[in-house]
């Protein structure tokens, strides 16, 4: 469906905008779908919207009044109103736009007319409207016919009315405004049918009189009056003015009034859908009464003429029957599913419930609960609808929505070359996606391998002497040569290279913030005559603590934002943490490769993309930072390493760094956590180092 908005209406018709707005739910900004009213403040919302909101706060979104979900009531009139309005909206819109374009002066009046037209439609009396509109509006009437042919068709052809004067038109409008107040469709009908049975003589005379009248409402009203059989009687009360207005018109156009009569008899059944039998017999009853009305009376419930003696027993039976159907209806109305405290419900019970509702029971417990919650929400919302969907339908919808939600938008996925592995995947699936990823980026990998081999040759020539020495030394040499793969080395502090390079990167990111911060601090502290350096130092320290804090919070924030599978904590690694791992495990990894030849290195590279580290939640950020780090390391390697790296391909699908990091991470998981303490200690030192370094850089930039 196309997007609709209150601003679709021309600005010259603010009232229409208001109407449009009023028919919308203020939570979803759509037209009300199963409107629920809050009785205490009379605000309306979609059933689903307000129920969903009730999970957050138990109050009215518009006025903050306290509400509980059980207080919500249906507002079917509003539902009907919305339904009708949405149906006629395009036509009204079209007309409004043409009017607006044609003639700016004509707008206010047309606006008013259109509003009344909406009232007409609402009260199900569009035919009266259609028959009495000026030619200008007859187009609109035509549109109505298109929308609701059954209602308008019989009368829309009544041409004579279209030649009316504008004054007459006004009268009609007045009448129509009065009509909804006087008559609520179904109830009065039932009333009139009751009366018809008991007072046949009156009815007959009334019907004769009404024949002169145009408006069906007046007829209904007339039948309701017990003794006021004449229109001139003062007891006719409210009905009288209508008739007075109506009479001259009927004099003017007698033939048309006859034309309009059939519509009267047709409206009656349509007006009272709830009691079809009663209203349908209304005309019949009044016609048959002349025959044998003396010894037979019409049953007020079912409308069948019954001998007067048996009327009581018949009435009892009739009432019993209607009561039964009432209870049936009540049973038919679906019961809502009560809210549950899932924490107290065991897995088994939840699964049983879900099976009962045809929901799939795949996934972890919290996923199940989420799914079931969503289902219950939609189910309860559907309970409010006039024709609720079946539980199976809702279950299907819930699962479909869930699928859509877990699928990230297509656009995004196309841009990110990442190996995605979700936590819930099986081994086979993971293997498959790995293979796919490998084949997709084969070219780039082979390129990388070639580059690495070329470099390794140089390394071999250079470090042939050092290879004979202990593993630690080998580590260092390999590391410095292989700037691309290695993020950090054991002896980096000695060579003044950044250790926690990933952290460093984030530190660089934070640098700007720190600068802003420093400036502020400086401003304030200059006033206090505090030496500038000291101020900077303190701010640096503060910034550092702030930075570590924000790093962690960012990590968790990113996870939250991603939302889909926030539970995959294992995958989610704080950047600083991962750097730590790298450092710690670097030695192991490098040790394992210490005696390795070119092939060994190549293997290590190939391993890289297949590692699930890529799937980490903060992947985007991660890869970015890693890319940056790599760039940095490259520059540093240019300094330390005589063999230049300039041939490196620019578009690398996945930084191999992350792969190495992943293998390390995995290794680490298997290891005991005993070494944690020392790690963290050193990492703090590294952080300091990084900061100092970044500061220096900034100064250089300055």
Partner 1 sequence: MATPWPMQKRLQNELLHLQRDPPVGISVNPNSASSTLTLWSVNVVGAPGSLYAGEHFQLQFTFGKRYPFESPEVIFIGGNIPVHPHVYSNGHICLSILTEDWSPALSVQAVCLSIVSMLSSCTEKKRPPDNTFYVKTCSKSPKKTKWWYHDDKV
C-beta closer to partner 1: residue 78 or 517: 517
Whole-number minimum distance, CB 388 to partner 1, in Å? 15
Q: Return the SS3 of 38.
A: strand
- Measured in degrees and rounded to the nearest 5, phi and psi for residue 341 equal -95, 100
Whole-number minimum distance, CB 45 to partner 1, in Å? 9
Buried b (16+ CB within 10 A) or exposed e, 568-580: beebbbbbbbbbb
C-beta closer to partner 1: residue 275 or 575: 575
Whole-number minimum distance, CB 216 to partner 1, in Å? 39
State the Cα–Cα distance between residues 539 and 519, nearest whole angstrom.
10
Partners of 74 in the β-ladder: 36
Q: Return the SS3 of 36.
A: strand
Q: Return the SS3 of 174.
A: helix
C-beta closer to partner 1: residue 64 or 157: 64
C-beta closer to partner 1: residue 557 or 600: 557
DSSP classification of residue 561: H
Determine the length of the chain. 702
Whole-number minimum distance, CB 404 to partner 1, in Å? 3
Whole-number minimum distance, CB 289 to partner 1, in Å? 52
Whole-number minimum distance, CB 405 to partner 1, in Å? 5
- Angle between helical axes of 619-640 and 471-481 (0-180°, round to 10): 100
C-beta closer to partner 1: residue 34 or 456: 34
State the Cα–Cα distance between residues 641 and 482, nearest whole angstrom.
9
Whole-number minimum distance, CB 445 to partner 1, in Å? 31
C-beta closer to partner 1: residue 280 or 536: 536
C-beta closer to partner 1: residue 563 or 649: 563
Q: Where are the alpha helices (DSSP H) in 42-148?
A: 47-54, 76-102, 107-122, 126-132, 135-147
Whole-number minimum distance, CB 539 to partner 1, in Å? 8
C-beta closer to partner 1: residue 44 or 257: 44
Answer for the pair 62, 46: CB distance below 8 angstroms, yes or no.
no
Whole-number minimum distance, CB 60 to partner 1, in Å? 8
Whole-number minimum distance, CB 397 to partner 1, in Å? 8
C-beta closer to partner 1: residue 254 or 545: 545
State the Cα–Cα distance between residues 505 and 528, nearest whole angstrom.
34
DSSP 571-614: T---HHHHHHHHHHHHHHHHHHHTT--HHHHHHHHHHHHHSGGG
C-beta closer to partner 1: residue 367 or 491: 367
Q: Which long-range contacts (CB under 8 A, 24 or more apart) does 400-407 make?
A: 401/374, 402/371, 402/374, 405/564, 406/564, 406/565
- Name the site residues for partner 1 (rule: CB under 8 A): 3, 5-7, 11, 26-30, 33, 49, 52-53, 56-57, 61-62, 64, 397, 401, 404-405, 407, 409, 411, 516-517, 520-521, 524, 542-543, 546, 549-550, 553-554, 557, 561, 563
Among residues 203, 95, 172, 101, the alpha carbon closest in space to that of 141 is found at 95
């Amino acid at each position: 469906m196309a997007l609709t908005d209150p601003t679709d209406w021309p600005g010259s018709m603010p009232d229409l905008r208001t109407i449009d707005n009023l028919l919308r739910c203020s939570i979803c900004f759509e037209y009300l779908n199963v409107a629920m009213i809050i009785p205490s403040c009379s605000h309306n919302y979609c059933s689903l919207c307000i129920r969903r909101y009730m999970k957050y706060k138990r109050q009215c979104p518009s006025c903050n009044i306290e509400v509980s979900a059980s207080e919500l009531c249906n507002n079917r009139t509003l539902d009907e109103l919305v339904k009708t309005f949405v149906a006629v909206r395009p036509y009204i819109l079209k007309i409004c736009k043409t009017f607006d374009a044609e003639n700016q002066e004509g707008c206010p009046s047309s606006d008013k007319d259109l509003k009344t037209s909406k009232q007409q439609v609402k009260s199900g009396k569009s035919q009266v409207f259609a028959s009495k509109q000026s030619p200008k509006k007859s187009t609109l009437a035509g549109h109505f016919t298109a929308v609701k042919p059954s209602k308008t068709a019989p009368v829309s052809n009544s041409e004579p009315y279209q030649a009316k004067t504008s004054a007459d038109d006004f009268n009609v409008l007045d009448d129509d405004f009065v009509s909804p107040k006087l008559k609520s469709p179904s109830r009065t009908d039932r009333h009139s049918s009751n009366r018809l049975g008991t007072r046949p003589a009156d009815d007959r005379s009334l019907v004769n009189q009404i024949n002169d009248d145009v408006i069906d409402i007046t007829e209904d009203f007339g039948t309701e009056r017990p003794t006021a059989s004449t229109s001139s009687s003062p007891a006719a009360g409210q009905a009288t003015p209508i008739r007075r207005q109506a009479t001259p018109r009927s004099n003017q156009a007698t033939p048309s009034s006859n034309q309009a009569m059939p519509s009267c008899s047709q409206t009656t059944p349509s007006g009272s859908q709830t009691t079809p039998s009663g209203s349908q017999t209304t005309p019949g009853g009044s016609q048959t009464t002349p025959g044998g009305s003396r010894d037979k009376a019409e049953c007020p419930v079912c409308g069948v003429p019954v001998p007067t003696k048996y009327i009581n027993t018949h009435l009892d039976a009739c009432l019993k029957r209607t009561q039964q159907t009432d209870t049936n209806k009540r049973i038919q109305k679906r019961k809502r599913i009560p809210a549950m405290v899932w924490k107290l419900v065991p897995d088994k019970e939840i699964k049983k419930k879900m099976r009962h509702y045809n929901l799939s029971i795949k996934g972890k417990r919290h996923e199940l609960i989420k799914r079931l919650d969503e289902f219950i929400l939609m189910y309860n919302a559907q309970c409010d609808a006039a024709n609720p969907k079946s539980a199976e339908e809702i279950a299907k919808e819930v699962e479909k929505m869930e699928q859509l939600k877990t699928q990230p938008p297509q656009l995004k996925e196309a841009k990110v070359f990442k190996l995605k592995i979700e936590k819930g995947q099986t081994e086979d699936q993971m293997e498959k996606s790995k293979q796919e990823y490998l084949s997709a980026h084969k070219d780039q990998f082979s390129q990388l391998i070639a580059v690495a081999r070329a470099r390794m040759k140089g390394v071999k020539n250079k470090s042939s002497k050092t290879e004979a020495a202990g593993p630690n030394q080998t580590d260092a040499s390999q590391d410095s040569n292989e700037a691309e793969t290695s993020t950090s080395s054991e002896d980096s502090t000695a060579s003044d290279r950044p250790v926690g390079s990933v952290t460093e990167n984030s530190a660089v990111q934070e640098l700007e913030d720190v600068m802003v911060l420093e400036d502020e601090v400086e401003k304030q502290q200059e006033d206090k005559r505090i030496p500038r350096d000291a101020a900077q130092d303190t701010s640096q320290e503060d910034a550092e603590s702030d930075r570590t804090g924000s790093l962690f919070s960012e990590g968790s924030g990113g996870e939250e934002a991603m939302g889909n599978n926030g539970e995959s904590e294992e995958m989610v690694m704080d950047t600083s943490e991962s750097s730590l791992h790298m450092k710690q495990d670097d030695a192991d990894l490098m040790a394992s490769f210490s005696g390795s030849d070119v092939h060994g290195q190549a293997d290590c590279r190939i391993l890289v993309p297949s590692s699930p580290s890529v799937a980490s939640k903060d992947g985007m950020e991660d890869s970015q930072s890693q890319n940056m780090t790599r760039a940095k390391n490259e520059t540093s390697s240019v300094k330390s390493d005589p063999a230049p790296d300039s041939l490196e391909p620019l578009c690398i699908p996945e930084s191999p760094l992350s792969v190495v990091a992943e293998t390390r991470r995995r290794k680490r998981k298997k290891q005991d956590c005993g070494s944690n303490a020392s790690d963290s200690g050193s990492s703090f030192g590294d952080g300091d180092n990084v900061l100092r370094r970044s500061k220096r850089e900034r100064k250089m930039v300055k």
